[in-house]
Structure 1
Amino acid sequence: MADKIKCSHILVKKQGEALAVQERLKAGEKFGKLAKELSIDGGSAKRDGSLGYFGRGKMVKPFEDAAFRLQVGEVSEPVKSEFGYHVIKRLG
């Protein structure tokens, strides 16, 4: 298992918003474009949603668990955390 992974995410307040993000991704819209447009995580949104590389213990547990289960290139179902709902894409 990887010690560190690279992910991007789109953070929204409501589950319905996260589901709408997934639909737009399925329709072919670019993850980075949607992150800039919709994510409430201002820091990562400016970088196309990129969180860079991180290891275990660096992110909130629900996010970390979901991110480490993803294959490279895969996008998660909405993941609820104390910050809202994340749509996560594993990049590396």
Structure 2
Amino acid sequence: MSNKIKCSHILVTKQSEAIVIHERLKKGEKFGKLAKELSIDSGSAKRDGNLGYFTKGMMVKPFEEAAFKLQIGEMSEPIKSEFGYHIIKRFG
């Protein structure tokens, strides 16, 4: 297991929004496009949801735990954190 990974995410305030977005992604819509349009994390949304590389201890616990369980190319179910609901995709 790598100690440094690269992920993108889409962050929304409501679980219902996250579920709808997750379904759209599973049907083939582009992660980056939906991140730009729908994510409330304006910093990463401009970069197709890209958070860049990070190590353990840099992200809030629920996000970190989900992200580090993903294989490259995998996408998480909606994950609740203090910021809202994340859908995470691992790239590296």
Provide TM-score, normalisation by structure 1.
0.99
Give secondary structure in 2 for the equivalent of 1:72: coil
Give secondary structure in 2 for the equivalent of 1:36: helix
Give secondary structure in 1 for the equivalent of 2:88: strand
The match for 2:54 is 54
Residue type at the aligned position of 2:90: R
Counterparts of 1:26 and 1:51 in 2: how far apart (Å)? 21
Identity among equivalent pairs (%):
77
CA RMSD of aligned residues (A): 0.4
Counterparts of 1:81 and 1:47 in 2: how far apart (Å)? 21
Residue type at the aligned position of 1:26: K
The runs of at least 4 consecutive aligned structure 1 residues that moved more than 4 Å come to: none
- Give the deviation of 1:64 after TM superposition: 0.2
Provide TM-score, normalisation by structure 2.
0.99
